[in-house]
Amino acid sequence: MYIALAILAFGIIIAIHELGHFVAAKSMGVKVNEFAIGMGPKILWKQGKETLYSLRLLPFGGFCSMEGEHEESEEPNPRAFMSQKRWKRVVILAAGSIFNIVAAFIIVIALTFGADGFASTTISDVTDMFPELGPSELMAGDRIVAINGERTFYHDDFTMFFNLHLTVGNPIIFTLERDGVYLEYERRPVIIDGEEQFRYRNLRFEIIEPSLFNNLQFAAYRTFNFIRMIRVSIMMMVSGDASVRDIGGPVGIVNAMHEVGQQSPTFAIALASIVHFTAFIGVNVAVFNLLPIPAMDGGRILFTFITWVIEKITRRPLDPKYENYINTGAMVVLLGLMVLVTYNDIVRLVGW
């Protein structure tokens, strides 16, 4: 059941992304030839006034095929994508990612309403597990502003970054606000039973009461954190704390959602967890598509600005075929990367 829900969730993410392109294109007067959810052969379809709407066999993908999307027609077509002003093309290309981020924000809001409150980063009580006491230690009333330079807005941020640096064995540096003064408190691992471990305290945090404003604020910060986690993951790969092998593709994402559902004590909690994870993956899709990589939305946006600069300098239009050459080559590389990522997913799945 959870695998079916995960596949459905992944399909919805792609559908929302392509819907963003579709709505933006229609609003800008661009003709859309086909709006498809999924890839491969069509299993359901309906011909609209000018757009073919189709559902395809493979749920991992989708597309919004616009008239003249990749090159200008031999005969000028005012409704072709490439015939539009540059700012309109940028809006259409960015709309898919914007829809994913807005959808994630709405999901978090829906999951947030009804909450009893939100744990802040202000310490309300300290249960010390070691004999050290005094102003050099964390104290009740301290507000944890950052951990190793990463801002903390809620208790979830504290837990995430504390455990992250705990896992890789880095010293943990707390930035605290105490009585209006900012302090830094560093904790390094100590030898306990022959192993390096972090000494810590049991901390309790003040609770922020739920309200319309606090719920919206929490949802906005949670969506921001989804984006920040992507940036942190990329930095970990650059630093060597994570590997390219840790990247997951569609198969890995579906399996992760399935595991989230299985580990939940009730179906209601499992459903909420899968929906929350869907919001996170939706933001991942949005950010990845906006990266300045050829063949991705971000790469096409970047190329739009590059051609504008070139045409301003040379005072003549740049042949669109050059962008097509770059995008085609990049698409081959991306497909190869997708094959590698899928292989890693399958290897992890079968436990090789």
Query: What is the 8-class DSSP label of residue 83?
Result: G
> Please, what sign has the CA dihedral across residues 20, 97, 18, 302?
positive
30 phi, psi to nearest 5 deg: -85, 135
The Cβ of residue 286 has, within 10 Å, a number of other Cβ atoms equal to 27
Cα separation, 134 vs 350, in Å, equals 51
* Paired tokens of 211: 């309200």
Nearest of 246, 239, 253 to residue 340 by alpha carbon: 246
Catalytic residue among 18, 50, 75, 195: 18
Cα separation, 83 vs 304, in Å, equals 13
211 CB-near residues (< 8 Å, 6+ apart):
none
* Paired tokens of 128: 């010390």
Cα separation, 300 vs 294, in Å, equals 6
For this structure, is 72 an active site residue?
no
Cα separation, 275 vs 9, in Å, equals 8
Helices (H) and strands (E) in the chain, counts: 8, 10
SS3 26: helix
- Active-site positions read 18
